[in-house]
Amino acid sequence: MEYTVLGRTGFKVSKLGLGGAPLGGDFGETSDEIVFNVIQTALDLGINFIDTAPLYGKGESERRIGKALKGKRDQVILATKAVMRGDPYTYENTIKSVEESLKRLQTDWIDLIQLHEADMTTFEEAMDGTIRAFSKLKEEGKVRAIGVNAGNVDLLIPYIKTGIVDTVQTFGRYMLIDYSAKDSLFPIAKEWNVAVINGSVLGMGILADAPAPFIKKNQKLLEEAERRKEKLSFLRKSGPKGLAEPAMRFSLTCPDIAVTLTGTTSTMSLKRNVSYCDGRGFTEDENQKIFQLFEGKKLFDAY
């Protein structure tokens, strides 16, 4: 396992982190036992960053993680989010959301608290409500660092410039078929020493040849994604899901990404992804070829 420092937080984190959405059952049936095995396997393999949210399984992901980490809390950098989807991003709702997360996670502190889905609120509302609440909770020692999560990377930039935010998280914006975050987000994050957490490097399953059910409804996006995948045939490994390994390595070896998240309830899949954390990426020629293919061509934002 490779490790890095999470921006200005000073936290030493594994470059591969465990994402919490599948642990709550959002991508299929699971159980406490399965989740406990996945988390223990992650710890045994050197993963020390776990990212979840109240939204995942409507609290089930946090509850399971908290139970699994009992007696092992100091082994991980634990990240969660606020608020629950549908709730206003007010100061009061945020305090309540974090307090409930602390109970489900069975912990006295959260290492990284993140504003969830900045796409669902305005910058002004979030700063006056959620971010102000985060700052208060940080003063009280209940959270140690503050982050913001959004699908649209452009929405993250104003938060970075406040100087309050320690991390930003996005998903599907730095992967083999859409690396739009490379020029828009990474330079400003680096300038402010804000760490980038990267999710959905398989493009909601597209690069693993198994698109998520909600993606299957978007035929135009799928057709464009397949066209882009054909142009990446020079990277494809033999066997099923031949672009999965290149997709993981693309993110894991990017110097502008602190943590790449993997979400799984399979210990086999987890072990396979950990095996890619060996520092081996693409050649300079391969990288240049990739970046010439879809420069400035967003995927998820365009369809």
Q: What is the dihedral of CA 161, 186, 146, 102, to 10 degrees?
A: 150
**Percentage, residues of the chain above pLDDT 90:** 87
For the domain that residue 190 is a member of, what is the CATH number? 3.20.20.100
DSSP bridge pairs for 262: 18
Q: Using the 8-state DSSP alphabet, how is residue 175 labeled? A: B
Asked if omega into 168 is within 30° of 0 (cis), the reply is: no
Q: Could you read off the pLDDT of 216-246 as tens digits, one per residue?
A: 889 999 999 999 999 999 999 988 899 999 9
Answer whether residue 85 is part of any domain.
yes
Encoded amino acid at 35, one letter: V
| Residue 301 lies inside a defined structural domain of this protein | no
Range of the domain at 129: 3-293
Flag whether 211 is in a domain: yes
Number of folded domains that form the chain: 1
The CA distance from 232 to 215, in Å, is: 20
Is 299 inside a domain boundary? no
Check residue 207 and report its DSSP letter: G
Q: Is residue 89 part of a domain?
A: yes
The whole-number average pLDDT for the span 58-76 is: 95
User: Does residue 303 sit within a domain?
Assistant: no
91 is annotated as an active-site residue? no
- The pTM assigned to this predicted structure is 0.94
Helix-then-strand count for the chain, H and E: 13, 10
pLDDT, tens digit (0-9, with 9 covering 90-100), for 189-201: 999 999 999 999 9
Establish if 20 belongs to a structural domain.
yes
Mean pLDDT of 24-29: 80
Q: What is the pLDDT of residue 204?
A: 87
Q: Which whole number is the average pLDDT over 120-136?
A: 97
Which one of the listed residues 3, 56, 91, 179 is annotated catalytic? 56
